[in-house]
Amino acid sequence: MDPEIIFRFWDNGDKTMCYAVGVSDLADLNGQFTLYPFGVFMQYIGIKDRKGNKIFDGDILENKVYGGRWQVCGPRKDWDYCGFVLRARDGQDNLIHFSDKENLEIIGNIHQHPELLK
């Protein structure tokens, strides 16, 4: 797992994705974190897909061995396990397991390619 803390930002107005947004980009000059009503910040989850691409919250993943597509939906703790949620097309949630990354490939994201989950 890669401990790097980075974000990307989806701008609802321009309909563009901005990459390499760091934690310092989220804070104003007083060190206070600002909410941005015109877009969505998505965090890198610390895992790369089978091609070496960084997986972010909001990405759509496909299992290239067993089939199936999921959206990465943010962190959650279940019992003694903490991880990022993968939401299937039918709304079923599962937690991503680090050993699954060898079969997973990013095929898009929910903002630019919502049709991939239909």
Can you name the residues that pair with 82 across neighbouring β-strands? 77
| pLDDT reported for residue 70 | 87
Read off the DSSP letter of residue 33.
B
Q: Along the 118 residues of the chain, how does pLDDT read in single tens digits?
A: 556 778 888 888 889 888 866 666 655 555 555 556 678 888 888 889 999 999 999 999 998 887 889 899 877 766 666 677 888 888 888 777 666 778 899 999 999 999 998 8
d(CA 83, CA 94): 9
| pLDDT reported for residue 90 | 81
SS3 102: helix
Q: Model-level pTM?
A: 0.79
Cβ atoms of 2 and 48 closer than 8 Å: yes
Read off the DSSP letter of residue 27.
B
CATH topology of domain 6-117: SH3 type barrels. (2.30.30)
Q: For 26, list phi and psi in degrees, rounded to 5.
A: -85, -15
| pLDDT reported for residue 115 | 93
Q: Residue ranges per domain, the chain?
A: 6-117
